[in-house]
Structure 1
């Protein structure tokens, strides 16, 4: 199997997840605008947590789709002497 095939397949899978995450975000935005969030969430704070989570997921998947790596993590390895 050519190496490019796997990358293409992963891009397609990521695109599907991104589409789903964006639809979820649109749904939460509509809940907020219409005020229907109060039917499903006991407090506005609980709704806000879910909304922020939806926003974060979309941002991460967009970065992956653009091949922009997240902030580099600090290495737990010590530098050589």
Structure 2
């Protein structure tokens, strides 16, 4: 990532800076979508495991391989595109650990 000095920013055309912001925002949105897809895939394999339906589609070795892969991919996307902080409705501020305990958080696992 290239960090521009304030003197460099002044030389940029305002339109090009805006297009840079829009393209970086678009990449962030795309990364969040890939992360969500990886989390849904992980949740699907966990649900297959809990229900026992995996036996219809996979051998035990195949299923464990796919499950491990889904977990690794989901964890990697969580590193690449971390979730944005949740904001409380009233204050518009990030929710603290104390408040998060009172609100159940849905996870893929």
TM-score, reference length from structure 2: 0.56
Is the radius of gyration larger for structure 1 or structure 2?
2
Deviations 1:15-42 (A, max 9, x none): 111111111111100100011000000x
- Of the three residues 56, 59, 68, the one matched with 2:75 is 59
If asked which structure has higher relative contact order (CA below 8 Å, sep 6+), I would say 1
1:3 aligned to 2:20? Answer: yes
Match of 2:45 in 1: 28
Deviation at 1:54, TM superposition (A): 0.5
Alpha carbon RMSD of aligned pairs, Å?
Answer: 1.1
TM-score, reference length from structure 1: 0.74
- Of the three residues 13, 32, 36, the one matched with 1:19 is 36
Stretches of structure 2 that go unaligned for 5 or more consecutive residues are: 1-15, 83-109
Match of 1:38 in 2: 55
Task: Name the CA distance, whole Å, in 2 between partners of 1:34 and 1:58.
Answer: 21
Match of 2:65 in 1: 49
Task: Name the CA distance, whole Å, in 1 between partners of 2:77 and 2:25.
Answer: 16
Number of residue equivalences: 65
